Each structure stands twice: as structure tokens, then as C-alpha cells.
Amino acid sequence: MATDVRTIDDNGLGQGSDERFAEAAIAGAQSLIDDDPGQARWVTPLMRAVKRRRLRMPSLSPTVQRLVGLIESNEVDLDELAAAVNGDPVLATRIMGVANSSYFRGATQVPNVREALMRMGVREARTIVIVVALRTTVLRSPGLGSMAQTIWKHSLLTAAATQEIASELPPWEASGFLAGLLHDLGQLVVLAYASELPAWQEDGAGPSEAIVTAISEATHAPLGAMVLASWGFPDEFCRAVMRHHDPSGGAGAVRDLARALELGDRIAHQIEAGWPEDVADVPPGLVELADRLGLDADRLHDVAAEAAASFEALSKLA
Ligand SMILES: [Fe+2]
Ligand SMILES: [Fe+2]
């Protein structure tokens, strides 16, 4: 019987994968304690919560969950998308507001969501709907404080970059944006956990920022995969998110998307720090990562420019 379970696990189906993400998160947390046993106070409760599936994870409204499912599939039908958006009156109002904004320069006000999506165009509509829908989920996560905006901006920038990178990377042509937007979801889990820690300590003390950062670095990737699995995302997508700082541990399509995410994330960080004017000044490490995906330095430079531009456009909308 044990053999059967193992087989299912290796094929990455359902529960098996969730188990693997949890194990990876626990292993990451354990490595912190191995390095410094003094950290146990801050890390052990996390391991326990993951093991017992007691961790507070961001949740999606049924409407957004449906939207995410629609957008993740390659063919999006405008009527289906409109019907899903209409399931949430607040979201519907926002989408119409975006279509009526000066960004789309329409001569008349759109009368309904379907017309709003038509004005945006199907490709752009997908992106805009998911940005508007997920923004609330991210920004309203508990325990974020001033980090909320930072994480959201980084996610949006990574999404814009990963979209460009994955657009020529089958079967992920349509998944790059969403994957980039969600790649650091696990950070929200860690920050929510850290904000609850003082309440669990006898002396009410909380972890330092450095400790929270270390916990996040060690666990956010598998924790993000856990959240996505709980949201019903396809297994390979979740596994790619788990590998976004360690793509070589994956294989095939998982490794490809993980590499695209790793590069998208690094491009985002470089843009945040200031992207060099001259292509010759792009850091060699970035050029090397791009090269693995078949992008030369000039293409990398273009991808960064396009990502920065679509980030600017999207920031004005949401
Ligand atoms: Fe990350
Ligand atoms: Fe990131």
C-alpha cells in the first residue's frame, strides 16, 4: 500500500503535493533552528502550525476564485469572464470604473461589465481583472502594515516581467503574469504569522525584523505553493512557485516556469534598485539567468523596459 501512496505523491496529485509543500516549509524552518537553536522560540510554532494545517492563509472570495480559474485556462470567453465579474458587485463597479477612466479614452461611458471588458480588449481585460481582484486580497492580508504596498508593487513588477519572459515559453504563454503576481504569496503567510507571535509568547515579545526576514526567506516559497494548492491551482503551477528561488530542483515544465519566475523576480528587484541605462551595465548574474531561458542581453534589456512600462500603466489603474 505504501508503494501506491508513493506513486501518487511522485505524480504530484492532490493531497500528495500539499503534503510535499508542507514538508518543504517545515524543512526550511528546521534549517533556521539548526543554524541557531535560539531561533526555536520563533520558528517552532510555525512548524507546528504547518504540520497541523492551522496556519492562517489568505483566502479568496468565491468570485475571485472563479475568476482566477478562468484566467488560468488559456481560452477565456468574454461572456464567462463578464458573468464571473458580475458575481461581485464591488469588483464589477471597479472594472467599469477602469474602462471609463481616461486610460482607455472612451468617448462614452460603458453601460455594463461586458462592454467594459470589450473596451479593454480580451488580453488586457484578463490582466486588469486579475490585478483589480487580487489587489484587495493582498492589501487586506492581516499583519502586513507598511509592507503591503511594497509587496504589492514588487508582485506587480514581477508579474509584468514574467509575462514577457513566459510569453515564449510553452505551455506557460498565458500564465506568466498570474504566476508573477502570486510568486511571493507565502510572504503574506509569514507576516501574518509573525504578527500573531507576541500573543503566543508568555512575555508578549515579538521577533525582530531580521528574524521575520530569515523565516520568510526559508519558508515563503513552499508556503506560497500551499496557499495556491488550497486555492485549487494546477499542481505544476504550484510546484513552480515553490521552486522560484531554486529552479534547478525542478524538472520539465515546472523548472521552466520556476526559471521564468526567478528571472522575473530578479528583474523586478533590479528595476526597484534602478535599471542601468546601458545594456553593457546589466549585472552579469542577470544576463546568465536570462541566457538559460534563451534570452540574450538585448532581449533582457527590452523585457525590463516593457515590464517597467506595463507596471507604470497598471499602477495607474488599480
Ligand atoms: Fe520569493
Ligand atoms: Fe519576489
Question: Domains (ranges, CATH) in the chain?
Answer: 141-317 (1.10.3210.10)
State the cell numbers at 245: 528561488
Using the mean position of ligand 1's atoms as its centre, give its distance from the Cα of residue 70 in Å: 25
How far does CA 285 lie from the centroid of its chain?
A: 23
pLDDT of residue 22: 95
The answer for residues whose C-beta is within 8 angstroms of residue 152's C-beta and 6 or more apart is 135, 138, 139
Closest CA to 176 of 235, 263, 77, 248: 263
- CA–CA separation, 197 and 142 (whole Å): 13
DSSP string spanning 114-162?
HHHHHHH-HHHHHHHHHHHHHHHHHHT-TT-TTHHHHHHHHHHHHHHHH
Using the mean position of ligand 1's atoms as its centre, give its distance from the Cα of residue 239 in Å: 13
Using the mean position of ligand 2's atoms as its centre, give its distance from the Cα of residue 184 in Å: 5
Using the mean position of ligand 1's atoms as its centre, give its distance from the Cα of residue 35 in Å: 21
Using the mean position of ligand 1's atoms as its centre, give its distance from the Cα of residue 210 in Å: 16
pLDDT of residue 298: 95
pLDDT of residue 315: 85
Using the mean position of ligand 2's atoms as its centre, give its distance from the Cα of residue 87 in Å: 31
Give the count of alpha carbons within 13 A of 232, CB side only: 14
- CA–CA separation, 85 and 63 (whole Å): 7
Using the mean position of ligand 1's atoms as its centre, give its distance from the Cα of residue 221 in Å: 6
Using the mean position of ligand 1's atoms as its centre, give its distance from the Cα of residue 102 in Å: 34
Query: What are the residue ranges of helices labelled H in the chain?
Result: 2-10, 14-35, 40-51, 62-72, 78-86, 89-100, 113-120, 122-139, 147-166, 176-182, 185-200, 209-230, 235-242, 252-273, 284-292, 297-317
Using the mean position of ligand 1's atoms as its centre, give its distance from the Cα of residue 89 in Å: 33
The answer to whether 266 and 281 have CB atoms below 8 angstroms apart is no
State the cell numbers at 206: 515579538
Using the mean position of ligand 2's atoms as its centre, give its distance from the Cα of residue 198 in Å: 27
Phi first, then psi: give them for residue 230, nearest 5 degrees. -70, -20
- CA–CA separation, 25 and 18 (whole Å): 11
- CA–CA separation, 64 and 261 (whole Å): 23
Q: End-to-end alpha-carbon separation of the chain, Å? A: 51
pLDDT of the chain, 318 residues: tens digit per residue = 333 333 333 344 445 678 899 999 999 999 999 999 989 999 999 999 999 988 888 888 888 888 888 877 767 788 888 999 998 888 899 889 888 887 777 778 889 999 999 888 877 888 888 888 888 777 777 777 778 888 999 999 999 999 999 998 999 988 899 999 999 999 999 998 998 888 877 888 888 889 999 999 999 999 999 999 988 888 999 999 999 999 998 889 999 999 999 999 999 999 999 999 999 999 999 999 999 999 999 999 999 999 999 999 888 775
Phi first, then psi: give them for residue 168, nearest 5 degrees. -120, 30
pLDDT of residue 285: 95
- CA–CA separation, 235 and 228 (whole Å): 9
pLDDT of residue 318: 58
The answer for residues whose C-beta is within 8 angstroms of residue 315's C-beta and 6 or more apart is 153, 156
The C-alpha angle 268, 188, 317, rounded to 5 degrees, equals 55
Using the mean position of ligand 2's atoms as its centre, give its distance from the Cα of residue 243 in Å: 12
State the cell numbers at 94: 471597479
- CA–CA separation, 180 and 260 (whole Å): 9
Kindly list the protein residues that place their beta carbon closer than 5 angstroms to ligand 1, a single-atom ion: 184
pTM of the model: 0.88
Using the mean position of ligand 1's atoms as its centre, give its distance from the Cα of residue 224 in Å: 9
pLDDT of residue 13: 43
The answer to whether 156 and 134 have CB atoms below 8 angstroms apart is no
